[in-house]
Amino acid sequence: NEKVADASAHSFQDLGFGYGKDAWYVFYFGEKIPDAKPSSFQIFQPYTGYTKDVWFVYYFGKKIPDAKPSSFQILRPYAGYTKDVWYVYYFGKKIPDAKPSSFQIIQPYVGYTKDTWNVYYFGEKVSDAAAHSFQSLGNGYGKDSWSMYFHGKKMKRYP
């Protein structure tokens, strides 16, 4: 048992999953989470790593830049995808250019996702894939109207 620096023993609460708070601070495995507000801090869903307060969203104790707590949602528990009104995230990192209003998980836990304009594989954009016709085939394979993909990379055609 170690003493948590700056924690008030009188008001400290164990929140579970490595989190705790007192009247002034929120802690993750004994370290203060900068700017976290104890009065509104909450765990989103157990075992996902996501937490929030009135001002910020956090992933395993680290602030997710620009994430909006009022609209933040987990799209599929344990698959890593989340979104708010402005952005889509994969394991706490913003997916550039992904559109939250149309973002969807094509098939759970196989990696492929898409929005109106782009296809993504485990949070990375799949070059040249046509979102309107893209399908996940399982085991890392996907296809659109023109090409086949494996692990998010276009497969070469052989004569």
Q: Sheet of 119-121: strands edge to edge?
A: 104-105, 112-114, 119-121, 124-125
**What is residue 158's predicted lDDT score, i.e. its pLDDT?**
61
- DSSP class of residue 122 equals T
Provide the sign of the torsion angle of the four alpha carbons 69, 72, 73, 77, taken in this order: negative
Whether 54 is covered by a domain: the verdict is yes
- C-alpha span between 46 and 61 (Å, rounded): 14
Provide the sign of the torsion angle of the four alpha carbons 148, 154, 155, 159, taken in this order: positive
- C-alpha span between 39 and 104 (Å, rounded): 33
**What is residue 4's predicted lDDT score, i.e. its pLDDT?**
84
Q: What's this model's pTM, rounded to 2 decimal places? A: 0.90
2 and 38 housed in the same domain:
yes
105 and 58 housed in the same domain:
no
1 and 50 housed in the same domain:
yes
What residues make up the domain containing 47?
1-70
8 and 64 housed in the same domain:
yes
55 and 104 housed in the same domain:
no
Token readout for 71 is: 């609209």
- Considering its fold, how many domains does the chain have in total? 2
Residue 111 burial (CB count, 10 A):
21
- C-alpha span between 122 and 118 (Å, rounded): 13
pLDDT string in tens for the chain (159-residue length): 678 889 999 999 999 999 999 999 999 999 999 999 999 999 998 899 999 999 999 999 999 999 999 999 999 888 899 999 999 999 999 999 999 999 999 987 789 999 999 999 999 999 999 999 999 999 999 999 999 999 999 999 765
- C-alpha span between 22 and 10 (Å, rounded): 8
